Amino acid sequence: MGEHAGSDASVTPADLRGERPAWTLRADGTLEPTSRPAAVERPFTLYVNGRELVTIVASPSHLLELALGYLANEGLIARADEVTTRVVDPEAGQIWLHVPGRTISGVELGRRWLTACCGRARATLYFANDADLAPVGPGVRLDPAAIFARMADLEDGPPALRQTGGLHWAGVGDGKRLWVRRADVGRHNALDKVAGWCLLTGRSPAGYAVVFSGRVSSEVVVKAARMGAAWILSNAAPTSLALELADTLNLTVVGFVRDGRATVYTHPERLGVPLPTTLPPPCPPDGPYERGISWRP
């Protein structure tokens, strides 16, 4: 297998942040010169089988994981060994991959549209080009302590990176620990890097928990489902369509995991605690999705 991974292995926090001159504005209108850290982002163009596929604006780290995870989360590959040549050139902003026997076009890649669903077997709305997704399996059970611990693990990143305030984090883990954590200026990129790590290491995330900083959108649910994850834990809010998809795809979504409290939106049966005897009523299919179970540990 031909492979050149560029400088990924030697990436340090200094590569992901830079100091910028700035001014501190006081309430009295005075300005004070200062310098502030800023998250670094760069464009990287992905070429597959010699053809330009997509340009991703991302943090300049773990670029091979980003590229492989992106292809996997778009449903274009399922295993790392499907890619026989990997060339990553961070300085040139290029990633070259070869996938034998596969014609991949960027015309429809990443383009998702909604379609009405026949019958009631699936959600009222779903992504037409993700219709091949099957509901995930039972997955592991997590108790509240594990949920809060994994979010704390995710947020315990290097101080030099947390100071930028401009990076999202994603990880995957189980009830005992977080296996991997990746940072990026783009939350979807961070999740793609985690998926790429899973492919390269052979560590399957199926049935386990994706831990995420930022809003849980429908695309995040699709990516997690393609990874086979049973859980999405986030310190932020989910969208209504994300929750419709999570219901259909059998994912447990836990949002607002912060300050000793969280909200379980879908499939609470995976929780390692007794459920309330009275559950929230289902929302109407054409109404806002606001149901959930809030609890403190």
Buried b (16+ CB within 10 A) or exposed e, 116-153: eeeeeebbebbbebbeebeebeebeebebebbbbbbeb
Catalytic-residue membership of 118 = yes
Q: Residue 79 burial (CB < 10 Å; 0-12/13-18/19+)?
A: exposed
Q: Check if the beta carbon of residue 68 is closer than 8 Å to that of residue 77.
A: yes
Q: Which of 112, 106, 104, 142 is nearest to 253 (CA)?
A: 142
Active-site choice (117, 118, 198, 283): 118
Tell me the C-alpha distance between 110 and 195, whole Å.
Answer: 17
Distances (CA, A) of 40 to 22, 37, 152, 264, 282: 16, 9, 24, 34, 43
Cα separation of 102 and 262, whole Å? 43
Supply 284's token pair. 């109407």
Rg of the chain over CA atoms, in angstroms?
Answer: 20
On the 0-12 / 13-18 / 19+ scale of CB atoms within 10 A, 155 is middle
* Alpha-carbon 33 to chain mean position: 37
Q: What span, in angstroms and rounded, lies between the C-alpha atoms of 151 and 206?
A: 19
Among all residues, which ones are annotated catalytic? 118
